[in-house]
């Protein structure tokens, strides 16, 4: 039997992403105090791994040939429900964060600060989604780099088609993207200064194997009852 999500499942899963994105946006706004955080509409993808990788190029934060630096974190949502988080940063993001922290813009420093931001985004966004679904704190590995200044499409091909990070043939993927822009209210104060914010952009993708879709659907059912009442519980066939 082919695993699937119905429209109600997708809508609720996207809504859990929206809640987590709001928390992550607030965290980034505190970190970059003079910037606006722009959030994308979250997307849910389900299907063969190679197909999902191709779908992730559509409407993404990056063009196919944009250079990205990529980090991965393994997670365990609950016993028997493993997953992967893939965080991509656009060119210039590491230098932007290093400048704002007053660090030298060396490759080592940029990699370290991006790993820190990747951990922050993963914990708040994907951690937030998983906590809503499974009612427990997920565990995450430390972020580790998997590619630097590679094209976005080549990165997706390696991860989803060649499956260099996971062996799953069919996957469920959640995509969330962030971008920082200067706060226009500060424009009069910045006329004689170069833009300090604007090069930072990031995309977070969580991946679970579809073999765990029954647990996800059960968690969505529980959440639906909590939000809407018992009359909205999924029917048992």
Which pLDDT score, from 0 to 100, does residue 197 have? 45
Which pLDDT score, from 0 to 100, does residue 2 have? 54
Average pLDDT in the 163-192 region?
76
Residues with Cβ within 8 Å of 32's Cβ and at least 6 positions away in sequence, in order, are: 100, 180, 197, 200
Three-class DSSP category at 36: strand
Neighbouring C-beta atoms of residue 169, cutoff 10 Å: 12
Output the furthest CA–CA distance in the chain (Å, rounded).
67
Mean of all residue pLDDT scores within the chain? 85
Pair type for strands 170-182 and 139-140 = unpaired
- Position 34 confidence tier, pLDDT thresholds 50, 70, 90: low
Pair type for strands 170-182 and 201-209 = antiparallel
Nearest to 70 by CA among 208, 206, 203, 209: 203
Average pLDDT in the 128-157 region?
94
pLDDT at 10 over 90: yes
What is the third-level CATH fold of 7-182+192-224? Chemotaxis protein chec (3.40.1550)
pLDDT at 173 over 80: yes
Domain boundaries, the chain: 7-182+192-224
Residues with Cβ within 8 Å of 48's Cβ and at least 6 positions away in sequence, in order, are: 169, 170
Residues with Cβ within 8 Å of 15's Cβ and at least 6 positions away in sequence, in order, are: none
CA 41/CA 17 separation, integer angstroms: 9
Residues with Cβ within 8 Å of 10's Cβ and at least 6 positions away in sequence, in order, are: 44
Which pLDDT score, from 0 to 100, does residue 189 have? 46
Neighbouring C-beta atoms of residue 166, cutoff 10 Å: 19
Average pLDDT in the 225-231 region?
79
- Position 24 confidence tier, pLDDT thresholds 50, 70, 90: confident
- Position 185 confidence tier, pLDDT thresholds 50, 70, 90: low
CA 38/CA 36 separation, integer angstroms: 6
Look at 32-36, 65-69, 137-141, 191-195 and tell me which has the smallest mean pLDDT: 191-195
Residue 118 is inside which H or E element, if any?
helix 107-121
Which pLDDT score, from 0 to 100, does residue 166 have? 92
Which pLDDT score, from 0 to 100, does residue 140 have? 97
């Amino acid at each position: 039997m082919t695993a699937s999500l119905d429209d109600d499942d997708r809508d609720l899963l996207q809504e859990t992403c929206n809640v987590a994105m709001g928390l992550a946006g607030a965290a980034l706004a505190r970190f970059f105090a003079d910037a606006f955080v722009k959030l994308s509409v979250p997307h849910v993808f389900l299907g063969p791994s190679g197909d999902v990788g191709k779908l992730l190029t559509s409407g993404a934060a990056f063009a196919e040939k944009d250079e990205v630096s990529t980090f991965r974190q393994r997670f365990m949502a609950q016993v028997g429900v493993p997953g992967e988080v893939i965080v991509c940063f656009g060119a210039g993001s590491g230098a932007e964060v290093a400048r704002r922290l007053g660090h030298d813009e060396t490759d080592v420093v940029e990699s370290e600060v991006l790993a820190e931001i990747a951990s922050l985004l993963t914990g708040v966004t994907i951690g937030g989604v998983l906590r809503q679904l499974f009612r427990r704190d997920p565990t995450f590995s430390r972020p580790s780099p998997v590619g630097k200044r590679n094209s976005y499409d080549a990165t997706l091909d390696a991860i989803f088609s060649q499956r260099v990070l996971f062996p799953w043939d069919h996957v469920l993927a959640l995509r969330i993207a962030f971008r920082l822009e200067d706060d226009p209210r500060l424009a009069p104060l910045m006329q004689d200064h170069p833009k300090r914010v604007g090069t930072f952009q990031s995309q977070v993708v969580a991946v679970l194997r579809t073999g765990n879709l029954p647990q996800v659907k059960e968690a969505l059912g529980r959440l639906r009852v909590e939000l809407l009442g018992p009359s909205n519980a999924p029917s048992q066939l």
